Structure 1
Amino acid sequence: MVHTAPTAPVLCTFPNDQELQAALAHFIVKAQKESIEKKGRFTVAISGGSLPKQLAGLIDNPAVKWDKWQVFYADERVVPLDHEDSNHHLNTRELFSKVPIPRQNIHTIDPSLADDLEELADAYEKELIREFAMKDSARFPIFDLVLLGIGPDGHTCSLFPGHALLSEEDRWVAYIEDSPKPPPRRVTLTLPVLNHAARIAFVVTGESKADVLHTILDEPEKGLPASRVRPVYPGHIYWFTDEAAAAKVQYPRTPFKL
């Protein structure tokens, strides 16, 4: 296997949520346009947390071609889809209920398999295989865009510091039943999947993330999970942050041009 070097992160900071959301929407629409022109569809993986609220710039945006989107979840909590802890519920409340995306274009876990996490993870992996392997013939799925956040401990998706899942090299989707953050039972995309994406965009806001963002970007050798998300060439990784979150970061900023 030929290993290629990861690309360096691009850090873009904004003075407030309004400007960040506008830039993020512009970035997503541009990625969408390139993907649809290339292959007729736009494949996206999305997480939960505070991220969905930052996607407000996509609502009522005429440039978004919702019928071309195929949406997966970067991770999901093993709860009913209408549960407050569900990433699908959160994204539906904040975004999908407000836009005309076809329901069949949003790929959720199957909660009926909740009693067997391995079967549930396998079923979700097969959902990805139907979308990617049949069309792209890739060792790992190549998402056009993965949208992520981070936790105060540096976790992303459901990949936590010191956890064995950080060493997973083969699976596309893995399960965790001992998450240090509740709820404990989850499924998650693995690092190889994240690192084969065409684009990764982290969205991080607030003073509470200042210390961990400094560690992730300025001290990647500490190996926090989010530091390990480094797409291999020709993939790209971007950080969209506000000034409060980036206050302690020494990593160079890149001006964002609309």
Structure 2
Amino acid sequence: MHAEPRVSIHPDSKVLMAAIAARLITKLVDVQDKHGEATVVLTGGTVGIGTLKAVADSPAAPAVDWSKVNFWWGDERFVAADSEDRNTYQAHQALLAHLPVDPDRVHQPGSTDDFGTSEQAAAAYAADLKASAEAEHAADMSDDRPDAPSELPRFDVLLLGVGPDAHVASLFPEQAGIREKNRMVVGVENSPKPPPSRISLTLPAINTAQEIWMVVAGEDKAGAVGLALAGANPVQVPAAGPVGRTRTLWLIDENAASRVPQQLVRKDPAGA
């Protein structure tokens, strides 16, 4: 089962990031009530990192047991570990350094400090995902994840930004990564957006998430958002590909929403 998209439009990017932060805190609390722990897949970009800062600043943040939140990333730039270009570095600065997280639950894709190629780093990230999936299955034999690939743990919420070219994670239009159907993680070379070397979850991995939240702001993204929601081919418009198992949310500001088909816009209060 996969969910049809819902669109929630916010007045501007600041309100959008605050709303996503409130929604995320509520969701993590709800998942922890059910499972004892929760897993979120983070994204970079202005909205992704701004949302993390809004979470850290929220007076409701202590409602989450941060020591029992598992963190993964949808993609990462294959550069030095301390590079400010890395999504993981920015996430630490915005959120993780300010919360009592368990370092063993923070799963960072590899860097050029440890691997010679992006494919080697991708293989190591895939192995980390598989090991976590095996440990999770051993601890929880419930039927919550029908037909989910054994290579992946349960992703409760997966956040994705969208580029002006409609790329998501590091899956770019017409490139090999968006065409991948079997592997869960790929190395990306010759990215049209610098830096050129990256590591990314594939669409088959992304679409195992229980909920996918597409978080987008800015008029420069409006065309990509409109095409994605109109049902474009994901090879040409990667943002059209992500679909959550139980919910697919497009959380966007008014500038990014200018080309959204009006029949897709619904009232969707934060946390609903």
Q: Under a length normalisation based on structure 1, what TM-score does the superposition of the two structures give?
A: 0.90
The answer to which of 81-90 and 49-58 deviates more is: 49-58
The 8 Å contact of residues 188 and 199 in structure 2, kept in 1 or not, is answered as: yes
Structure 2, unpaired ranges of 5+:
139-147
Cα displacement string for residues 40-85 of structure 1 (whole angstroms, at most 9, x for unaligned residues): 2111111211111123331142222211111011101111122021
Q: Does 1:255 align with 2:241?
A: no
Percent of aligned pairs sharing the same letter? 33
CA distance in 2, matches of 1:55, 1:134: 27
Provide the residue aligned with 1:79 in structure 2: 79
Provide the residue aligned with 1:244 in structure 2: 255
CA distance in 2, matches of 1:48, 1:55: 10
The answer to which of 241-250 and 11-20 deviates more is: 11-20
**Secondary structure of 1:113 counterpart:** coil
CA distance in 2, matches of 1:41, 1:7: 23
List structure 1 segments (4+ residues) > 4 angstroms apart after TM superposition.
none
Q: Does 1:116 align with 2:117?
A: yes
Residue 135 (structure 1) shift: 1.5
Cα displacement string for residues 141-168 of structure 1 (whole angstroms, at most 9, x for unaligned residues): 2311111101110000000000122222
Residue 236 (structure 1) shift: 1.3
The answer to which of 39-48 and 95-104 deviates more is: 95-104
Provide the residue aligned with 2:29 in structure 1: 33
CA distance in 2, matches of 1:208, 1:22: 21
Cα displacement string for residues 201-246 of structure 1 (whole angstroms, at most 9, x for unaligned residues): 1110112211221111124247411101123xx4311011111110
**Secondary structure of 2:62 counterpart:** coil
Residue 174 (structure 1) shift: 0.9
The answer to which of 192-201 and 29-38 deviates more is: 29-38
CA distance in 1, matches of 2:83, 2:95: 16
Residue 188 (structure 1) shift: 0.5
Structure 1, unpaired ranges of 5+:
none
Provide the residue aligned with 1:132 in structure 2: 133
Cα RMSD, aligned residues only: 1.9
Q: Does 1:170 align with 2:171?
A: no
